[in-house]
């Protein structure tokens, strides 16, 4: 070669080298809180074999992981735990939100269930389905690798510019309506006169 490189040496960009290493050894943190977790286990088991894509090293300590997989619904008691786990993971780190519940609350539109983890932690990849098939999660992991290769930088500059929340604002318009209704309802007490007539449940704004 013209530049006279010795054999076994090739030239690349630092970013590309880092991305190549990072994307092929994602270490997932399995945050499996519900039924989606079973499918996550199936993905890691021999039939679907997450190891084919270099992401089989599930660690239960966030300090050793760089890919948070939120599999299952997250309730308001669990959300601080999830946030803490996310903050404990070392950089660079990514997050996959797996299943309808983690992405949007799914069918559990109740007082205790967070309506999508992306309102409170940054999410890189959403996997739809209830539960998603292991193939879908595999596709997400492959897609995640592609994203790391595409956008990754060795110093994590692509993270620094993401300074807005990815999800909808926590208190959207519907939420405000409901809080308003709730305050109206709170004024009524229980009495025989109120039964069935004066005191109605909150109007449903969706």
Partner 1 sequence: MVELSVLQERFGSGITEHVFRDNRRVDVPAAVLFDVLSGLKTDFGFSVLIDLTAVDWLEYEGATDRFTVVYLLLNMDSGERLTVQTALNLPNPTLTSVYSLWKAADWMEREVFDMFGITFTGHPDLRRILMPEEFDAFPLRKDYPLKGRGERHNFPVITRSGS
Interface with partner 1 (CB under 8 A), residue from 5, 14, 146, 185:
185
Residues engaged in binding ligand SF4 (CB under 6 A): 34-36, 72-73, 99-101, 106, 130-131
- Among partner 1, ligand SF4, none, the one that 130 touches (CB under a kind-dependent 5 to 8 A) is ligand SF4
Stretch that binds partner 1, among 48-56, 73-81, 126-134, 139-147 (CB under 8 A): 73-81
Give the closest residue to 75 by CA, choosing from 37, 121, 116, 107. 116
199 counts as binding partner 1 under rule CB under 8 A: yes
**Rounded Cα–Cα distance for residues 165 and 178 (Å):** 23
188 counts as binding partner 1 under rule CB under 8 A: yes
Bridge partners of residue 75, in order along the sequence: 113
Give the Cβ contact number of residue 11 at 10 Å.
Answer: 6
Closest distance to ligand SF4 from the beta carbon of 31 (Å): 11
53 counts as binding partner 1 under rule CB under 8 A: no
- Nearer Cβ to ligand SF4, position 34 or 142? 34
- Residue 64's alpha-carbon distances to 58, 173, 203, in angstroms, are 9, 39, 47
Cis amide leading into 92 (omega within 30)? yes
* Residue partners of 94: CB distance under 8 A and separation at least 6: 26, 66, 67, 68, 124, 125, 144, 147, 148
Q: Which residues bind partner 1 (CB under 8 A)?
A: 76-77, 79-80, 83, 86-87, 109-115, 119-122, 159-166, 170-171, 175, 178-179, 181-183, 185-186, 188-190, 192, 195-196, 199-202
């Amino acid at each position: 070669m013209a530049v006279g490189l010795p054999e076994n040496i090739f030239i690349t960009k630092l970013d590309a080298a880092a991305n190549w290493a990072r994307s092929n050894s994602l270490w997932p943190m399995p945050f499996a809180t519900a039924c989606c977790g079973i499918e996550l286990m199936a993905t890691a088991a021999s039939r679907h074999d997450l190891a084919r894509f270099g992401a089989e090293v599930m660690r239960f300590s966030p300090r050793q992981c760089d890919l948070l997989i939120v599999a299952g619904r997250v309730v308001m008691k669990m959300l601080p735990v999830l946030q803490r786990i996310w903050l404990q993971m070392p950089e660079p780190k990514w997050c996959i939100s797996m299943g309808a519940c983690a992405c949007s609350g799914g069918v559990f539109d109740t007082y205790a269930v967070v309506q999508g983890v992306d309102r409170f932690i940054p999410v890189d990849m959403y996997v739809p389905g209830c539960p998603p098939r292991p193939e879908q999660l595999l596709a997400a992991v492959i897609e995640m690798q592609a994203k790391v290769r595409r956008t990754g930088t060795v110093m994590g500059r692509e993270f620094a510019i993401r300074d807005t929340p990815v999800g909808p604002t926590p208190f959207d318009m519907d939420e405000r309506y409901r809080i308003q209704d709730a305050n109206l309802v709170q004024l009524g007490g229980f009495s025989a006169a109120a039964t069935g007539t004066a005191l109605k449940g909150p109007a449903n704004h969706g």
